[in-house]
Amino acid sequence: MRNLDEDTITQAVLARHAGMSDERLREIITSLVQHLHAFAREVKLTEEEWFAGIRFLTDTGHVTTDIRQEFILLSDTLGLSMLVTAQQNRKPPGCTESTVFGPFHVESSPEYPLGADISNGAKGEPCFVHGFVRGIDGRPVPNAKLEVWQADEDGFYDVQYAESDEHRARGTLYSGPNGEYYFRTIVANPYPIPHDGPVGRMLQALGRHPWRPAHLHFRIQADGYATLITHVFRNGDKYLDSDAVFGVRSTLIADWVLHEPGAAPDDTRMETPFYTLDFDFVLNPVQG
């Protein structure tokens, strides 16, 4: 097909896909092409602007490594990650809501027994976390796999420290027979997403800050239940209403309670102030 112009190019591209056998791929690509072309027409995209976009995506790819996923940051900050999460995780009322996965999850994190200190030397004030994992029917979920990870008080995850390959403030635990879980870690603090790359420059150009409110990450898996990927956010954080990645849900906000030195929940004697966090998770049963 020759002599295509701005009015005929879209249908010509779609016609090239006539032999596609994957119907879902056809649906996605057809919509993608139509929306991309409509966007270019709507804003009257110039060649200079198009090249700038290509450079931005190229830079994003160059920054991305095994420990830094700039494309996830891009998706997060444009709200796409949370949109997909919300679409894919519609649940009955009462179930714990899902939120974004984030770019710093690590598969096969160290396993700890209940009550262990998963901070493993990470900088931060001590915090004791406790709660129960239950189904929507209120029944306890024993042996649920809880993966937990968080940033330290300087705002960095363990994988962001190039000089160390030791995991800190990260671990995997399993709920007890009554669905109970508990562990020691450090207090969650707000932190900026990595903003020294193309996504950071984008946020600056848009007049946006890179900060996330304080939170703990959880991924919870149990037989017979849908996997839950979520955060628990710290009540009172000034970034709760302007999270850089749009992940906050009111039902996921909880109180970190400050205690004076004394007996901790695990009966150890704390010589410094410490915090406690109590939060229960309600899982959605797998249908069918």
- pLDDT one-digit tens code per residue, 17-68: 989 999 999 999 999 999 999 999 999 999 999 999 999 999 999 999 887 8
Does 276 fall in a domain?
yes
β-bridge pairing 145-149 and 256-259:
unpaired
Residue 3 has φ and ψ, to the nearest 5°, of 60, 40
182 and 139: one domain? yes
Distance, CA of 134 to CA of 262 (rounded, Å): 31
- The whole-number average pLDDT for the span 220-249 is 97
Q: What is the pLDDT of residues 182-213, one digit of tens each?
A: 999 999 999 999 999 999 999 999 999 999 99
Q: Which of 97-111, 139-153, 215-229 has the lowest mean pLDDT?
A: 97-111
Residues 85 and 22 in one domain: no
CA distance 287 to 225: 9
* Residue 144 near residue 222, CB atoms below 8 Å: yes
Question: Is residue 97 located within the same domain as residue 195?
Answer: yes
More confident residue, 156 or 1: 156
The top-scoring range by mean pLDDT among 44-58, 103-117, 151-165 is 44-58
Same domain, 134 and 271: yes
Catalytic residue among 167, 184, 212, 234: 212
Does residue 62 belong to any structural domain of this protein?
no
Across the chain, the runs of DSSP E, i.e. the strands, are 126-135, 145-149, 170-174, 180-186, 191-192, 211-212, 215-221, 228-234, 253-254, 256-259, 262-263, 269-270, 274-278, 281-283
Average pLDDT, rounded, for the chain: 95
Residue 83 predicted with pLDDT over 70: yes
For tokens 């239940």, what's the residue? 225
Q: In this structure, is residue 220 part of a structural domain? A: yes
From 150, 147, 115, select the one nearest 233 (Cα to Cα): 150
E strand residue ranges, 5-149:
126-135, 145-149
Choosing from 112, 181, 182, 191, which is the catalytic residue? 191
Tell me the one-letter amino acid at 108.
S
Specify whether 111 is located in the same domain as 225: yes
pLDDT level of residue 79 (50, 70, 90 thresholds): very high
**Is the pLDDT score of 77 beyond 80?**
yes
Residue 288 pLDDT: 58
Structural domain of residue 131, as residue ranges? Answer: 71-283
Look at residue 36 and tell me if it is in a domain: yes
* 167, 168, 215, 234: the active-site residue: 215
pLDDT value of position 189: 93
Residues 6+ apart with CB under 8 A from 58: none
Element (H, E) at 190: none
Instruction: Establish if 65 belongs to a structural domain.
Output: no
Residues 75 and 157 in one domain: yes
Specify the pLDDT at position 166.
86
Structure tokens given for 17: 């896909």
Q: Are 26 and 20 in contact (CB under 8 A)?
A: yes
- Residue 117's alpha-carbon distances to 35, 123, 124, 176, 254, in angstroms, are 49, 13, 12, 17, 21
Question: Active-site residue among 167, 168, 170, 217?
Answer: 217
pLDDT at 73: 94
Residue with tokens 């996830």: 72
For the chain, percent of residues with pLDDT exceeding 90: 90
Tokens at residue 193, please?
Answer: 């997403």
In this model, does residue 99 exceed pLDDT 70? yes
Beta-bridge mates of residue 185 = 127
Is-above-0.85 flag for pTM?
yes
The answer to whether residue 134 is catalytic is no
Q: Establish whether 212 is a catalytic residue.
A: yes
Q: Would residue 54 count as lying in a domain?
A: no
Q: How many distinct structural domains can be found in the chain? A: 2
Asked whether the predicted pLDDT for residue 159 surpasses 90, the reply is no
Q: Does residue 149 share a domain with residue 33? A: no
pLDDT of 165 over the 80 cut: no
Mean pLDDT of 150-176: 91
For residue 157, indicate whether it is catalytic.
yes
Q: Which residues contact 123 (CB under 8 A, 6 or more apart)?
A: 152, 153, 154, 186
Q: Which of 157, 181, 239, 275 is catalytic?
A: 157
Are 140 and 216 members of one domain?
Answer: yes
247/164: higher pLDDT: 247
3 and 117 co-located in one domain? no
Is residue 215 annotated as a catalytic residue, yes or no? yes
Q: Is 191 a catalytic residue?
A: yes
